[in-house]
Chains A and B, each alone.
Chain A
Amino acid sequence: MKILDIAFKDLTRSFRSAFAIGMMVVAPLMLTGLIYFAFGGMSSGDVGMTAIKVGVVNADQLPSDSVLDAPIGDNIRSMFFDDSVKSWIEASDYTDEASVRAAVDKQEIGVAVIIPQNFTTSYMSGEKDVQVLIVNDPTLSIGPAVVEDMVTMMVDGVAGGGIAIETIMERLQANGTQPDPSQIPAWIERYTNWYRDFQRNLFHNPDKAALVVVAPSAGETETADPLTQMMGLTMAGQMIFFAFFTGGNSMMSILREHEEGTLARLFTTPTDRTKILMGKFVAVFITVLLQGLVLMIAGRFAFGVQWGKPVSIALALTAQVFAAVGLGVLLISFVKSTKQGGPVLGGGLTMLGMLGGLFTANIPGGMPKAFDAIGNFIPQGWVLKGWRMALDGSSAGELLVPFLVTVAMGIIMFAIGAMMFKRRYA
């Protein structure tokens, strides 16, 4: 019972300290929030761009003798109605140029895309003045630019296709072979595939090809959103760093009590010294656990972080608590006064946090292998591994190794620290 009394007293003091609350909850949320707003996040967790309202007039018609299956205007139109762009483009059909211009004037839409009646015919015959007309609200800048880029890229692609077909036909004729017009759709498909690969190479990232549209698979969760994914790791990194700080800072209460004289007074009461130490350890454990829970809930609601499956979350959080308490007890057991404690916690934990990868978790392509290897010797590195897996949706079974390693590290550090404290005080 006295163990809980001591723990409750320590918790009361901790939660009355503005500094402790600041370092426990406010600082990690503020730092994560800064990163979040720097990347344009909003409270819902999406990218936050306002949908561009586009009106499309597609008057294009396929000439009767065309080798194409559908007019090119249909391809341009379909680009704005594709499921993959629905979150940021709101497209609607208009019957004629007058009605779509009127809609722009009334600011019902931001951009009008007008594909003329003879677009395919003119385009295929190589006319130079063929054009898709874009009319936009003059007060807007980003939306029309995006639409223009999309149309340009589409038209460029088609133009490239035309050139490719012309070249094929010329080469065939030069070789004395008469081209078969029924082959043209297959050539266009081959060109399209090549153009997609070209774009991928151009952006050096298969995920960033501008016109490659991949519809999300059924059942895919919010974590697929890159911002939300990034915020998950950022929040986890901050939470881990400050959990370790809280572990050490809470354990410093024993030094504070020593300096305030209350520890000596506790020793004059009929309370076993081991119980006094246990009470302080329990307080640190509960503080770090509560901090983790508060930050997880805050991260979910403020930044839309999907922490993972419940059992995986429980394992990652438990591992974090064990490691943070263990390292806190161990570090403070070497410290003689609260004056020494500040630099030891600040410097030591920042260094270990860096080596554990807490501040580099979001670097594209990751860190060099040697750096990652160092993380295997650092408790923070293992805690981060656990959270990374939980965030990726790993199961409890998959999380078992980082969980066991982290808990074992925590227990060993705690045992050494507790032994040192017992030797000093008990």
Chain B
Amino acid sequence: MSYAIEVKNLKKSFGDLQAVQDASFRVEAGEVLSLLGPNGAGKSTTISMLSGLLAPTSGDGCIMGHSIIREPEAAKKSLGVVPQDIALYPDLSARENLVFWGKMYGLRGAVLKTRVDEVLEIIGLADRQKDHVGKFSGGMKRRVNIGAALLHKPAVIIMDEPTVGIDPQSRRHILDNVKDLNRQGMTVLYTTHYMEEAAELSNHIAIMDKGRVIAYGTHDELIKMVGEQTRIDVTLNTEAEKVLTAWRATEGVSKIDSLDGKVTALVDDSNRVLPRLFEAAAKANVRITSVDIQEPNLETVFLHLTGRALRD
């Protein structure tokens, strides 16, 4: 089996803080792997090491068989990186930006010109190529940001939360782009804290928390980890603390967490557990204002694994 990305016991420490601890996973050529986790889980640090931005404290990673430690230049040639924030020159045009980044990947002359034209078509900005990037909308900047990573036709592309802070339309465009690139054979390592994106795009998902990869598998494999459990989201008219201890002790509740007045619980059988929750709330003089019962999803998996909601 050939792996486009192979991560072996990767570690990164910043002083006492262990940002990534023994992270290991593999991505087969031509598939999409999503690194899913809350902010601060270690996703960006992991891909910063893979893209050569940070040196690992220990461990290693390979891109298309090239070690990021021993053969960093070769590894980088196989890699296109889309940073989380827009990393473009606002006072250069879209075309000038792409030409510059193409040159940084070693493209020259007619090849460079052809690739810039092709990429401008892919990102749908051929008609705005002469405009300065600084004048573009957020979504358009994101598209150029992605385009700059595609110029040298990399075998692997790493995308670090490329949909953060943009409108739904641009988000849709980017997700469709990722699917298109993958269909063309590109391997994609995609980081996100949106479980819907991970579910929609990925062949495999690695869930990270506190610097560790805590689960790895396909979407269905991960869902199976929570078994027949159901997720219940409850909204209260008061602080959750008044009833949380009682609910935690309720039979059939396996995990429970609260944030901003909303309580998320994993229960074995919602039909049996829900009346008990209402009864405990009444005893604590707390009124339940809404209840949402959901089938297991990646959020449920995260809650199951960590005892915390993914949105934390």
Contact = CB atoms under 8 A, between A and B. Distances in A.
Interface of A: 1-2, 5, 9, 12-13, 16-17, 260-262, 264-272
Given A12-B96, A261-B86, A266 B104 contact: yes
B195 interface: no
Nearest to A260: B87
B89 interface: yes
A12 B95 CA distance: 14
Contacts of A264: 53, 83, 87
B81 A268 contact: yes
Given A261-B83, A264-B53, A264-B83, A9 B89 contact: yes
A261 B91 contact: no
Interface in B58-107: 73-74, 76-77, 79, 81, 83, 85-92, 96, 100-101, 103-106
Nearest to A273: B52
A267 B53 contact: yes
Given A5-B100, A261-B86, A264-B53, A269 B92 contact: no
B192 interface: no
The A interface, classified by DSSP as helix, strand, loop or mixed, is helix
Contacts of A269: 76, 101, 104-105
Contacts of B96: 12
A270 B53 contact: no
Contacts of A260: 87-90
Nearest to B86: A261
B104 A2 contact: yes
A17 B89 CA distance: 12
B230 interface: no
Given A12-B96, A267-B53, A268-B79, A5 B91 contact: no
A307 B203 CA distance: 71
Per DSSP, are chain B's interface residues mostly helix, strand or loop, or mixed?
A: loop
Contact of B76 (A5, A12, A16, A268): A268
Contacts of A17: 91
A261 B104 contact: no
Contacts of B85: 261
A2 B77 CA distance: 15
A268 B76 CA distance: 7
Contacts of B79: 268
Contact of B103 (A5, A267, A268): A5
A268 B89 contact: no
Nearest to B105: A269
Contacts of A267: 52-53
Contacts of B108: 1
B92 A13 contact: yes
List the 6 shortest-distance A-B pairs measured between CB atoms, nearest first: A261-B87, A265-B87, A269-B104, A270-B76, A268-B81, A268-B51
Contacts of A2: 103-104
Given A12-B92, A268-B53, 10 more contacts: A1-B103, A17-B91, A261-B87, A262-B88, A265-B81, A265-B101, A265-B148, A266-B104, A268-B83, A269-B101
Contacts of B104: 2, 5, 266, 269-271
Contacts of B74: 270
B91 A16 contact: yes
A234 B96 CA distance: 40
A262 to B, nearest CB: 5
B89 A13 contact: yes
A262 B76 contact: no
Contacts of A12: 92, 96
A266 B106 CA distance: 12
A267 B75 CA distance: 13
Contact of B89 (A262, A270, A272): A262
A262 B103 contact: no
Nearest to A13: B91
B202 to A, nearest CB: 22
Nearest to A261: B87
A270 B86 contact: no
A326 to B, nearest CB: 26
A268 B100 contact: no
Most chain B CB within a 10 A radius of its CB, from A2, A261, A265, A266: A265
